[in-house]
């Protein structure tokens, strides 16, 4: 693209320069670079403006623009923990989409997603454009809800009326996939090693598991609560294996971390995974392939969750309808599940 237009050394190009090179008005440049051109400007014209801006090295003055719009171009992402890989991937997805639109994302932890999550700023309304909350209990966000900022909930109760948008995974279908896999291997005696954290996503896993087994002849499932950490999960699994009831042939875990603890428990009581007891996880964290045998688990598209969450917040801010529909999850079969050994 050669328009014969050059900038004097050291002079920062302006939107007027972009308009001159592209052969359009400054108003058109503002629409295109502000991502508000659809329905007002043709694809061809938008492309000419972007090409001109790129050629000139033009960068909009976001500070001045934000003052005009009354926007900070900052979103808050609230997560239950900073150390969990799933939430790190959610942040990566959200931050990627945010950067494409000139936004930043501030990451903020709330203990276990139960809360309470305090307002991290003297005035969240003045510091933020909106909030995205991942896997959080509704009551944990009371302080943030009080700011009247648009709130997008991820992996949370879709019936919550206080959210401007929801982005969810098809958690129930994932648990059905796992249950069908184990049933096809002949398993009928199950322990559900359930997360002790009370949240919508774990409640859905429990309901889906029980519904899937309810009509299966001879199927029995026993629920055992476990903390979301390896040693606590190991202790819970050891208690389940030592119970007087017939030994389970499969342990279905709410999370890969819990599953790692269950695998340790099976070995500690002198049994083998998967020859004696199959163990399955949920999330497909890096841990799933670090343990031996590698975990059969459900792969959740965490980065896509973050991307959709940020896109939903942008849509709300612009008065558009966010994309709808749950994100699919995928069963990944590895070495920790095998045909049931009936004893």
The pLDDT of residue 332 is 98
Q: How far is CA 4 from CA 7, 24, 55, 214, in A?
A: 10, 16, 11, 74
The pLDDT of residue 8 is 46
DSSP structural state of residue 247: P
Looking up residue 22, the CATH number of its domain turns out to be 1.10.260
Cβ atoms 74, 88 nearer than 8 A: no
The pLDDT of residue 15 is 79
Q: Are strands 104-109 and 220-226 parallel, antiparallel or unpaired?
A: unpaired
The pLDDT of residue 84 is 86
Looking up residue 310, the CATH number of its domain turns out to be 3.40.50.2300
Condensed to tens digits (0 to 9), the pLDDT of residues 80-116 reads: 888 889 999 999 999 999 998 889 998 888 764 444 5
Residues 39 and 127 in one domain: no
Residues 76 and 140 in one domain: yes
Residues 239 and 307 in one domain: no
Residues 177 and 276 in one domain: yes
The pLDDT of residue 168 is 96
Q: Is residue 124 part of a domain?
A: yes
Q: Tell me how far apart the alpha carbons of residues 288 and 231 are, in angstroms, rounded to a whole number.
A: 16
Q: Tell me how far apart the alpha carbons of residues 327 and 169 are, in angstroms, rounded to a whole number.
A: 5
221 token code pair: 């499932």
Residues 175 and 286 in one domain: yes
Q: Is residue 331 part of a domain?
A: no
Residues 179 and 290 in one domain: yes
The pLDDT of residue 16 is 83
Domain range for 41: 15-60
Residues 149 and 163 in one domain: yes
Q: What is the pTM of this model?
A: 0.76
Residues 140 and 238 in one domain: no
Q: Tell me how far apart the alpha carbons of residues 316 and 318 are, in angstroms, rounded to a whole number.
A: 5
pLDDT < 50: residue spans in the chain: 1-9, 62-70, 112-115, 122-124
């Amino acid at each position: 693209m050669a328009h014969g237009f050059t900038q004097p050394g050291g002079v920062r190009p302006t939107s007027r320069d972009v308009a001159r090179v592209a052969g359009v008005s400054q108003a058109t440049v503002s629409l295109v670079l502000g991502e508000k051109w659809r329905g007002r400007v043709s694809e061809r014209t938008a492309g000419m403006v972007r090409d001109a801006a790129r050629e000139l090295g033009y960068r909009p003055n976001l500070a001045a623009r934000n003052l005009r719009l009354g926007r900070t171009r900052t979103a808050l992402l609230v997560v239950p923990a900073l150390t969990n890989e799933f939430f790190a991937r959610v942040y990566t997805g959200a931050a990627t989409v945010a950067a494409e639109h000139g936004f930043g994302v501030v990451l903020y932890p709330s203990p276990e997603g139960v809360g309470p999550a305090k307002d991290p700023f003297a005035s969240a309304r003045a510091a933020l454009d909106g909030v995205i909350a991942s896997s959080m209990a509704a009551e944990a966000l009371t302080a943030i809800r009080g700011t009247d900022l648009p709130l997008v909930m991820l992996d949370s109760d879709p019936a919550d009326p206080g959210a401007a948008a929801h982005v969810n995974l098809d958690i129930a279908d994932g648990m059905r996939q796992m249950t069908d896999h184990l049933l096809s291997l002949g398993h009928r005696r199950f322990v559900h090693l359930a997360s002790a954290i009370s949240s919508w996503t774990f409640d859905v896993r429990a309901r889906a598991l029980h519904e899937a087994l309810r009509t299966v002849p001879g199927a029995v499932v026993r629920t055992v609560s476990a903390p979301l950490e390896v040693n606590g999960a190991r202790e819970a699994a050891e208690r389940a294996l030592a119970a007087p009831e017939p030994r389970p042939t499969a342990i279905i875990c709410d999370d890969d971390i819990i599953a790692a603890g269950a695998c340790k428990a099976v070995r500690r009581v002198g049994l083998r995974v998967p020859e004696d007891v199959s163990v399955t996880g949920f999330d497909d964290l890096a841990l799933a392939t670090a343990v031996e045998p590698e975990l059969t688990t459900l792969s959740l598209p965490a980065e896509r969750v973050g991307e959709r969450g940020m896109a939903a917040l942008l849509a709300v801010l612009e008065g558009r309808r966010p994309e709808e529909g749950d994100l699919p999850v995928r069963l990944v079969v590895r070495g920790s599940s095998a045909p049931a050994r009936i004893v």
